[in-house]
C-alpha cells in the first residue's frame, strides 16, 4: 500500500475497487520508479570523476 495522501484517497474513497483505482496504482508505481531512477542517476552524477 502506498502511503501518500492520494493513494489512501484512492484506496479508501469512492474510487476504490474500480478499474480506475488500479490504473492509479500502476501509474503511481511507474511514477515512483521513474523518480527513484532519476534519484539514483542524480546521486551517481555527484560522484567525483575526472573529465578527460
Partner 1 sequence: MGVRIAVLIPAHNEQDYIAATIDGVQAQTRPADRIIVVPNNCDDDDDTAKIAGSYDGVEVMELHGITGRKAGALNAALDAVLPELTEDDLVVCMDADTVIHPELLENAERHFQGEARLGAVSSNHLIKRFGTPIELLQAMEYERDRRFIGRRKGRFGCMTGMAAMYRVSALRDVKRAYGEVYDPDNWTEDWKLTIALKHLRWTMVRPQDCLATTVPVSDARSLFIQRERWARGYIQTLRQFGFTRWTAIPWAKQAGLVWSLLSRVVLFYLLWTVRGHLIAWWCLPVFVILIADSVNTAHKAGWRATLVALAFPVEMIYAWLITAAIASGYWKQLTKTGKKDAWKMVRR
Binding site for partner 1 (CB under 8 A): 3-6, 9, 24, 27-28, 30-31, 33-35, 37-39, 42-43, 45-46, 49-52
- Calculate the alpha carbon distances from 43 to 30, 35, 47, 52 in Å: 20, 12, 7, 21
Q: How far is the CB of 44 from partner 1 (least distance, A)?
A: 9
Q: Rounded to the nearest whole angstrom, what is the least distance from the CB of residue 47 to partner 1 in the complex?
A: 9
**Residue 15 contacts residue 24 (beta carbons within 8 Å):** yes
Query: Least distance (Å) from partner 1 to the CB of residue 29?
Result: 9
Amino acid at each position: 500500500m502506498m502511503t501518500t495522501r492520494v493513494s489512501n484517497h484512492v484506496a479508501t474513497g469512492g474510487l476504490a475497487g474500480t478499474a480506475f483505482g488500479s490504473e492509479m496504482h500502476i501509474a503511481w508505481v511507474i511514477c515512483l520508479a521513474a523518480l527513484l531512477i532519476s534519484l539514483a542517476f542524480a546521486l551517481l552524477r555527484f560522484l567525483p570523476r575526472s573529465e578527460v
